[in-house]
Amino acid sequence: MTRLRVYVAHPVVTYGTASERERLETLQRLLPKIEIYDPAGRYYSNAGWRRAWPRVLSTLSGLVVFGSPDGTIGAGCMRELLDAVVWRIPIAGLEEGMLREIEMFRFLESRRLTACRIGRLVLGDRIGPADFLADGATKC
């Protein structure tokens, strides 16, 4: 039996921070039998990530995203989310120690947009850890 694997999409500015460590610990506590795949420290360039991403994507059972301290995500996280949706991989946000449904995405005002900060996720209802990876978690 193949072990389930969840990718943790989060902005590069969170890599190596106390906030990242806390959220990864929370996610491991919520999903104790799941392999947590954290991209931090694995890729040292966008080119390296782009080469590896298709192979990684094909191995995923789910994708969880969290934003930077101000709640924003960048183009990289958005690409990861969109690819997961296309591949019908269940997605969730992580906020306040809970998995949450992703209801929508709000772009920042155009004058504040950068590749590292394009917008914020709007999270909704709590998702129980047992329900997150259940068949049909990503509806289309």
Top-confidence residue, 107 or 43: 107
Whether 55 is in a domain gets the answer yes
Q: 19-61: per-residue pLDDT in tens?
A: 999 999 999 999 999 999 999 988 878 888 899 999 999 999 9
How many domains, the chain?
A: 1
pLDDT classification of 140: cutoffs 50, 70, 90? very low
Task: Report the pLDDT value the prediction gives residue 137, as an integer from 0 to 100.
Answer: 47
**Average of pLDDT values for 66-76?**
92
Give this prediction's pTM.
0.91
Domain housing 83: 5-132
Whether 26 is in a domain gets the answer yes
Contacts of 140 (CB under 8 A, 6+ apart): 85, 88
Rounded to 5°, the CA angle 30-97-89 comes to 55
- How much is the mean pLDDT over the chain? 90
Task: Report the pLDDT value the prediction gives residue 1, as an integer from 0 to 100.
Answer: 54
Task: Report the pLDDT value the prediction gives residue 14, as an integer from 0 to 100.
Answer: 93
Distance between CA atoms of residues 43 and 95, nearest Å: 25
Whether 138 is in a domain gets the answer no
Distance between CA atoms of residues 62 and 7, nearest Å: 6
Whether 23 is in a domain gets the answer yes
First to last CA, the chain: 28
pLDDT classification of 139: cutoffs 50, 70, 90? very low
**Average of pLDDT values for 110-137?**
85
Whether 140 is in a domain gets the answer no
Whether 139 is in a domain gets the answer no
CATH of the domain at 68: 3.40.50.450
Whether 107 is in a domain gets the answer yes
Whether 38 is in a domain gets the answer yes
